[in-house]
């Protein structure tokens, strides 16, 4: 199972983007770290070990980036205006820089990408598929936080509105290409019922998705599953095995 790293400076976010890939062939999967996680967080917390059977079987290639936008929401003294602006710039960098890098690495300019993450990583995964169903095929959102006012109270600026699926999903044009594309995609929302979990977050976004007829499912894992890496190391291999050909 190979590992490769690359980086480049992004004018969109005015800092380096680090991209790491594990695996050689298979469906590309982009994992977003938790709030302040870096590009190799998933390896340190043994997610690569958990995914080894899928990686070694050539079913997936896993890619990761730093949690640049996620960190902004928790930055002490930050404002909704600043956090949401960086969130949107980060989204632009993912779409215009990271996605082409993944497709180039896969030698396929049209390959579709599965996106995933836990906690704020789940928010980024959800936002990615909701804003770009033309490139992201499925989202596996684990123990997600989808209402960012949990971290920063403040005005709902234009950037905030367009960065938050809870806000923009209800306003999507019924006959627009974005909503039509989303109705061809699938969002899996999964959570535990143990310590530090907030199941209501998953159900709230599921309701918003369902109201627009966007395919989704909520899976609850019970009280033995906390908001922590042991939970996510069980969840992600199971769902990738289910959803990846």
The two tokens of residue 3 are 């590992």
Q: How many CA atoms lie within 13 A of 171 on its CB side?
A: 9
**Do the beta carbons of residue 226 and residue 40 sit within 8 Å?**
no
In the prediction, which pLDDT does 66 show?
95
Provide the β-strand partners of residue 32: 117
Q: Where are the domains of the chain?
A: 3-243
Q: How many CA atoms lie within 13 A of 21 on its CB side?
A: 21
In the prediction, which pLDDT does 17 show?
97
Per-residue pLDDT of the chain (245 residues; tens, 9 = 90+): 799 999 999 999 999 999 999 999 999 999 999 988 999 999 999 999 999 999 999 999 999 999 988 778 877 777 888 889 999 999 999 999 999 999 999 999 999 999 999 999 999 999 999 999 999 999 999 999 999 888 877 778 888 889 899 999 999 999 999 999 999 999 999 999 999 999 999 999 999 999 999 999 999 999 999 999 999 999 999 999 999 98
CATH of the domain spanning 3-243, picked from 3.90.190.10, 3.40.50.1820, 3.30.565.10, 3.30.360.10: 3.40.50.1820
Residue 183 CA: distances (Å) to CA of 31, 107, 126, 134, 201: 22, 27, 14, 11, 21
Q: Is the pTM of this model over 0.85?
A: yes
**Do the beta carbons of residue 19 and residue 65 sit within 8 Å?**
yes
Provide the β-strand partners of residue 15: 10
* Whole-angstrom distance, CA of residue 208 vs CA of residue 83: 23
DSSP letters of 23-61? -SSSEEEEEE--TT--TTHHHHTTHHHHTHHHHHTTSEE
């Amino acid at each position: 199972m190979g590992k490769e790293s690359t980086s480049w400076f992004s004018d969109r976010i005015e800092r380096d983007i680090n991209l790491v890939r594990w695996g050689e062939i298979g469906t590309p999967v982009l994992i977003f770290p938790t709030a302040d996680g870096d590009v190799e967080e998933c390896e340190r917390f043994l997610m690569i070990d958990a995914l080894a059977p899928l990686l070694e079987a050539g079913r997936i290639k896993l890619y990761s980036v730093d949690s640049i936008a996620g960190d902004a929401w928790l930055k002490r003294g930050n404002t909704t205006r600043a956090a949401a602006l960086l969130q949107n710039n980060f989204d632009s960098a993912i779409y215009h820089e990271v996605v082409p890098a993944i497709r180039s690495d896969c030698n396929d300019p049209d390959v579709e990408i599965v996106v995933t993450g836990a906690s704020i990583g789940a928010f980024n995964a959800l936002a990615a598929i909701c804003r770009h169903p033309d490139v992201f095929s499925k989202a596996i959102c684990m123990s997600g936080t989808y209402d960012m006012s949990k971290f920063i109270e403040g005005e709902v600026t234009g950037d905030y509105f367009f960065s938050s699926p809870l806000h923009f999903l209800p306003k999507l044009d019924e006959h627009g290409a974005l909503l039509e594309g989303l109705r061809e995609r699938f969002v899996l929302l999964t959570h535990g019922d143990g310590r530090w979990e907030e199941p209501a977050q998953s159900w709230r976004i599921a309701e918003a998705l369902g109201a627009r007829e966007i395919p989704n499912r909520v899976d609850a894992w019970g009280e033995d599953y906390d908001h922590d890496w042991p939970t996510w190391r069980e969840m992600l291999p199971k769902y990738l095995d289910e959803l990846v050909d």
